[in-house]
Amino acid sequence: MDFVSLESLKPTELPSPPQGTLNVVHACTREKWDAQQLSSMVAQDPVLSVEILRIANSAYFGFASEITSVARAITVIGQNALRNIALCIAMRDALKPDQLPAFPVTEFWEAALRRAVCGRSLAVLTGLDGDTCFTAGLLQDFGLLVLFYLKLNRISEWPNLARLPPDRRRDLELQLFGMSHDKVGLQLARSWGFPEELEIAIGFHHETPPQQVSVSSARLAALARCVDWMASVFTADDKRHAIQTCRGLLSDQFELSAEQADRLLEEVASAITEAAGAYGFEISEQPEFDSLMRNANLRLVEENLSVQEMNWHLQQIIEERDRVTAELNRELELAREVQRSLLPSESDNPLGLAGVNVSAKAVSGDFYDFFQLHNGQIAFCIADVAGKGMNAALLMAKASSLFHCLGKSIHDPSKLLAMLNHEIAERSIHGMFVTMVAGLYNPQSGRVRLANAGHPPVIQMSSTQQQAEYPATAPPLGVVAVIDFPSIEFQLGNDSLYLYTDGLIEARISGQQRLEQQGLISLFSRYAHKSPQERLQRIVAEVRRGQASSDDDITLLLVERQESEEKR
């Protein structure tokens, strides 16, 4: 973006006040000044002469009798007033409207005049010179007019700048021009030989002046900062913020109360109308401060109502969320009860069998089952449904019910798995399947017959070491509609048979390390001396120790000969 730089600013290429007017300003700045000499200098500039007479006779100064000569005007208004009038006229005429095509020069000077009258009103309460404060307020943003003069393609941004508070307006200037009005104004004031106090007010009303400046110059810069915010009360979009900032600044800089600040703002509308007539500025109809306050308060009420309405809607949403959550929790609790009812109860445990199921979620996709047949043999199974959540829980309930019903009449694990596979493949959700081990145990002979459909290996253990393992010999249920499930038969003897789901061997222990099958065998050996149910509880507790939560359901089933119980 093409920015303005201080180095590129050449006073000879910038708009400049008439030299004769500047000579008057410089003469008024001298400690020793001569009224007759000043009269002669002013008389050489007809425009300045007419303006000084008109302003001196205006209601703004309020002299009782008409002043008919420039010499008399200079005598009665004084050195400072003459200097400030000359400065105001000079700056007003430095840039003509035709030099800024499409720029609303009238709006700019109205905003400048508002700062000027705020400065004059504030001077009464701060002990500063009213004419000097008026001039500082009028000229402090002149640098912005020069920036637009240098970058005519940015003129369309004026409305955006005009409705911003002073701090944000300066930030936007830096984005648009790479330079702010106060720095440009400071360089112009120095090149034109302005008095130090005005130079400091123009250049440092947005930041702290250098320490070496006089106290009066620093106070004038502080006043210029305050009047910038006072004027923004009438132009900024967020008037509430402008009023609050204005009150805070006046309190910090000049120890004025909020009531005093508001009284100053109440005077602005009438004061700017009077000053516009005296200095020949065109202004629009001025809003009263009371009206602005009412609108700001009304907006605050509307915002508060909007916030209250939002809070009410939010409360309704929270209550609805809590209601739905409570309802879901009730339904989940009911689902848990249903699942628990599908598992064997402790009172139904045949001698030498035990099982445990720990769900990772509210409901489980794992299950185990065992029951005694009329011939004294025991049918058992362990299964893991693919996935988690409600769909897995529903498929778990279906598979569990099918096993419990069909297993009472189909005693061959191979045929039983084939029947279950057909039912699940035909009606289950696409992509879902069940790994399962189904078995038949004869407590009298110690013989076991089982079939493994895609499930982790079944482990046969003595009290201290692994004796055998029986891996899957067919895919999970529900994958292929018609398939054989080979079974194997073996002697259990006094050994223990462990069936488990993959959540157990995939559990993380000691930080990130997985238990794996060897770790599980070590746990089987460690707790072999415990009773079946206590053994399983100890193993699960060991696995879950130190874990914030389980990633998967954990299910474990143990089958032992009756003699194992008798030994204990």
Element (H, E) at 508: strand 508-509
Position 202 pLDDT exceeds 90? yes
Position 324 pLDDT exceeds 70? yes
Task: Name the class of domain 96-287.
Answer: mainly alpha
Q: Between residues 513 and 118, which one has the greater pLDDT?
A: 118
Q: What is the pLDDT of residue 115?
A: 94
pLDDT band at 567; cut points 50, 70, 90: very low
What is d(CA 118, CA 103) in angstroms, rounded to the nearest whole number?
25
Question: What would the mean pLDDT of 350-361 be, rounded to a whole number?
Answer: 82
Q: Which amino acid is residue 367, in one-letter code?
A: F
What does the buried/exposed string (b/e) look like for 159-190 if buried means 16 or more CB atoms within 10 Å of the residue's CB? eebbebbbebbbeebeebbebbbbbbbbbbbe
Q: Between residues 482 and 311, which one has the greater pLDDT?
A: 482
Task: Name the class of domain 344-567.
Answer: alpha beta
Q: Who's near 16: CB < 8 A, 6+ residues apart? A: 94, 192
Question: What would the mean pLDDT of 78-104 be, rounded to a whole number?
Answer: 78
Position 254 pLDDT exceeds 60? yes
What does the buried/exposed string (b/e) look like for 51-63 if buried means 16 or more CB atoms within 10 Å of the residue's CB? bbbebbbbebeee
Q: What is the pLDDT of residue 434?
A: 92
The mean pLDDT value of the chain amounts to 84
What's the CA dihedral at 202, 206, 212, 214 to 10 degrees? Answer: 60
φ/ψ (deg, to 5) at 459: -115, 130
Question: What would the mean pLDDT of 544-563 be, rounded to a whole number?
Answer: 75
Position 204 pLDDT exceeds 70? yes
Q: Reduced to 3 states, what is the DSSP secondary structure of residue 465?
A: coil
Element (H, E) at 448: strand 447-453
Position 300 pLDDT exceeds 80? no
Q: What is the pLDDT of residue 30?
A: 74
Q: Between residues 391 and 381, which one has the greater pLDDT?
A: 381
> Which is nearest to 561 in space by CA: 460, 458, 470?
460
Q: Between residues 346 and 195, which one has the greater pLDDT?
A: 195
Position 564 pLDDT exceeds 50? no
What is d(CA 553, CA 544) in angstroms, rounded to the nearest whole number?
11
Convert the pLDDT of each residue in 528-538 to its tens digit: 989 898 999 99
Q: What is the pLDDT of residue 339?
A: 62
pLDDT band at 8; cut points 50, 70, 90: low
CA distances from 239 to 245, 257, 293, 296 (A): 10, 19, 8, 6
Ranges 266-270, 332-336, 428-432, most confident = 266-270
Q: Between residues 426 and 31, which one has the greater pLDDT?
A: 426
Q: What is the pLDDT of residue 568?
A: 40
φ/ψ (deg, to 5) at 483: -160, 155
How many CB atoms neighbour CB 398 within 10 A? 17
Ranges 36-45, 52-61, 146-155, most confident = 146-155
Question: What would the mean pLDDT of 374-395 be, rounded to a whole number?
Answer: 85
pLDDT over 90, % of the chain: 40
Question: What would the mean pLDDT of 543-553 be, rounded to a whole number?
Answer: 67
Q: Which two tokens stand for residue 395?
A: 């498929």
The residue behind tokens 């879901």 is 328
What is d(CA 420, CA 499) in angstroms, rounded to the nearest whole number?
19
pTM above 0.75, yes or no: no
Q: Which two tokens stand for residue 344?
A: 């064997």
pLDDT band at 305; cut points 50, 70, 90: low
Whether 31 contacts 104, CB under 8 Å: no
Q: Between residues 164 and 49, which one has the greater pLDDT?
A: 164
Position 165 pLDDT exceeds 90? yes
Whether 220 contacts 201, CB under 8 Å: yes
What is the separation, in whole angstroms, between the first and last Cα of the chain? 90
Per mean pLDDT, which range of 35-44, 218-227, 338-347 is the poorest? 338-347
Q: What is the pLDDT of residue 490?
A: 96
Q: Which two tokens stand for residue 432?
A: 């879902």
Question: What would the mean pLDDT of 500-512 be, rounded to a whole number?
Answer: 80
Q: What is the pLDDT of residue 566?
A: 44
Per mean pLDDT, which range of 153-167, 328-342, 378-392, 403-417 is the poorest? 328-342
Per mean pLDDT, which range of 144-148, 370-374, 505-509 is the poorest? 505-509
Per mean pLDDT, which range of 172-186, 464-478, 503-517 is the poorest? 503-517
Convert the pLDDT of each residue in 261-294 to its tens digit: 999 998 988 889 888 887 778 888 888 888 777 7
* Domain ranges (residues) in the chain: 17-94, 96-287, 301-342, 344-567
pLDDT band at 510; cut points 50, 70, 90: low
Position 482 pLDDT exceeds 50? yes
pLDDT band at 565; cut points 50, 70, 90: very low
Q: Reduced to 3 states, what is the DSSP secondary structure of residue 39?
A: helix
